[in-house]
Amino acid sequence: MAETLEGTKVHQRQRELAIGRWDFVVFGPGADDKKAVLRVCVAEQMVIQDASLYMASIGDPSQVGKPGMISIEELAGGDVAEELRGLEVYHVSPLRPIAVTEKREGAAGVDRMRDLALEEFSSRNIAVIETLTSPYG
């Protein structure tokens, strides 16, 4: 768990924030760890839509010092990567749904996906985030 939390790297922050909107790219290993997965996403505050993902703050209760509202397993219906099991949700924002606008898979792995993501998105107004695990493949 701690490795997953510590292994998240923000390569680039969104340079100019738009009111109520956060654009970001997140990438990491796929479900089988052989392919890399990249998702281009947008989170929009107060947008009422049918979104499959929502913004959540998660943590390890032993490091935070208190339990969260709900376990990540319970929130996700048990469908989480092994590395995320045992983490708890401290905040969830149903008013900030995340829409995945594009999903890419690459057979070359995370190192190649990092190079491609930084090459493509470094000049754009978008956050670029790398994670050690893929919570949903």
Domains of the chain: which residue ranges?
2-54+96-130
Other Cβ atoms less than 10 A from the Cβ of 61: the count is 15
The whole-number average pLDDT for the span 39-67 is 76
**Per-residue model confidence as pLDDT tens digits over 69-80:** 888 887 777 777
Nearest to 55 by CA among 87, 11, 90, 82: 90
Would you state the pLDDT for residue 137?
43
% the chain with pLDDT above 90? 22
> What pLDDT, in 10s, does the model give residues 25-49?
999 888 776 789 999 998 877 554 5
Q: Residue 6: CB partners within 8 Å, gap ≥ 6?
A: none
Is pLDDT above 60 for 115? yes
Least confident of 34-43, 45-54, 112-121: 45-54
Average pLDDT score, the chain: 80
Which of 104, 135, 132, 131 has its CA nearest to residue 10? 131
pTM over 0.95: no
Which among 55, 61, 31, 19 is positioned nearest to 129, based on CA atoms? 55
Residues whose CB falls within 8 Å of the CB of residue 12, separated by 6 or more in sequence, listed in order? 118, 121, 122, 126, 127, 128
